[in-house]
Structure 1
Amino acid sequence: MAKIKQIGMAAGTFSVALGIGFVMQNGDALAARFGADTAAEQPAPFAETVEVDAAADVIDPMVMPFEEPIVVAQAGVASPKAPDLATPNPVIESAVVLPEAAKVPPQPQAPIQLAALDPEEMPEIETDAIAAVEVDCVPVMSATASTAATVALSVSAPCHTSAPFTVHHQGMMFTAMTDASGAADMNVPALAEVAVMIAAFADGDGAVSTVAIPDFANYDRAVLQWQGETSVMLSAYEGNANFGDDAHIHAGNPGDMARLATAEGGYLVKLGNASAPDPLMAEIYTFPSGMIGVTPDVMLVAEAEITAGNCGQELNAQSIQVSPTGATSALDLTMIMPDCDAVGDFLILQNMFEDLTIASR
């Protein structure tokens, strides 16, 4: 490595807590939350019966309450207009004329009345519709295996727009952010052959998804993670690379996915949204060990820059290393950064990783 201004930190100068083993986090799908009056009585139809004496010559208007008398013409009874007597068996036409008061009044149409709704007797379909609206607020996440043993994550949370959330995977954690519609998409390097991904929002809402990674055994993975602005970085020196060479892979020179596809070298990705308050950040280096056929020679180094923001402050970081066999190791680091007169220098955080040459033996 080229000579640069660095301060080597021996293993005994800071407290290192070794811890291997992870709690597989599983999330349960969040469950979803959430009389009639009788019609008016119809009026009885007009049903009064009027009896007429056929033998009477005159109908007394005082007997029946009609404005005009009923005129009845019958055979053998004189009428104002008699039929022609020369016609045998004459046909006598009779007619009854009813006054207006005797006509059947029109039946009024029954008024339309709305039944009062009893909340306890509401139709089941309406209850289901209300529940469906509430279920739409529950975040959902899909996970699909992608190139170079990565997972394509898609989160949809319509009720968590422009909101931060934490992605958990095999001990790795980083902060992501939804957009104005509550969606977020990202590619995450897998740290297990069966990758369990969890998205957790601050209010307790979340989603979980699981996907199998078919090409997991082709890659070594190294993770350096921290919280806030600690200015730490993961460097991978491939082959005989020195600081600043093309084969010195770090956040400023991350390589690309093409190097993985052609087994030329590794690739580094930085995850976490720095605009979120006190975000969780992670850098993940991937090397195609299983595709090269020879023992890889990569030196992995965790470094921290001494800045005005972290000088004299406590630094917390964690490393995770995963081999193609799935063997996993983790190491926690807690230390006090040097005083502010060392601003601009770098610390080499020793023993945070095993070089891939050593790890592959």
Structure 2
Amino acid sequence: MTIEQILLTQFRHFERCHFSFDAKDNLIVGQNGSGKTSVLEAVYFLAYAKSFRTSSNRALIGHHHDRFQIDAKICTDDSKHVVQSIYGVDKSIQTVRLDHEIGVKQSVLARQLPVVFVDASTHRDFAATPKNRRDFLNWCCFYTMPEYHSHLSRFQRALQQRNQLLKQCRHYGDNRSLLATWTDPLIFYAEKVHAARQALIERLNEKLLCIWPHFLAMKPGQITYESGWRNQMTYAECLDQTLQQDMVYGFTQCGPHRGDLSCLTADGHSIFQGFSQGQQKLFAYMIKCIQLTLLNETDFLKSILLIDDLAAELDDVNQSRVLDYLKTMPCQKFLTALNPAVFSNRYADHALFVDQIVHSDDGHTPAHAVSAPI
């Protein structure tokens, strides 16, 4: 899948602006505050109905407006589609359209438009919390294993219901027979989720072994998966052992919702503790490239890669390593930069200079970003 064109209306500081994109490489150039990151943000919002910069979608609405709209033309190998996403203060106007079909579920659009985002803080975000690392696992499984989303959703529902019953047990006493009605499906779907994640870890390590030499001149590390319960026990045994504590605390302590990744160097130390910031950032690029590779190896749509300010915190040598590898990736790429010279001749076909946009005066005729050779 590639994005051929996008029209932003009242999105951030773009009153009404039209962009046309290359099917492979797009370099978006502009000074700080010019809106180059907002272009990436709009693409990301199309896929996931959220921003990578803020938890409040209202912050994306242009000043003095009550809504924004994103229209896009997207292409596959043999067809074209029209996507529209409207977000407003009034929830009644919020909608997603795919080929003019109204009310399309966001998960449907996300599956059609897989987007991977990287910026200068990606490695720190990945290191920060188990949730961020679980999100990475869930993303990879969602796009490469058709039944995973259903299994994870049913596990989460069973977990929610069991936790509600555990809270009741804390206040009103033991009711194990009622707990069993949700513990049984919890175990069933937890094992499905766990098996999928384990299978994914094997594939991740295979890819990591291949990609590592392109980024780092040291022995390859590895990724290990921590299930969220004791390895020597089955999940059913773990739940049985922790039941009394679960009833005291009012929630389920173990399970895939507590799963995590460990990213280790060749000698078994944490990458997030033993690597420099630059090395951690290269590792983050490896992880993101592996995401793209996994999708490319399925019968699925090609993904889209968004990179905001690649030059940040990377020296010239490491920038070249990343850029050289990215050129081999068969996906559509969007990269931002203050100065196009950072990218040498690798993306010399054309650039979009967002700080030279001719803004529309009448509010109807789309303005265009200026394309020019570097």
TM interval, short-chain normalised = under 0.3
Larger Rg: 1
Tell me which protein shows more helix as a share of its residues: 2
Tell me which protein shows more strand as a share of its residues: 1
Taking CA–CA contacts closer than 8 Å with sequence separation of 6 or more, which of the two structures ends up with the larger relative contact order?
A: 2
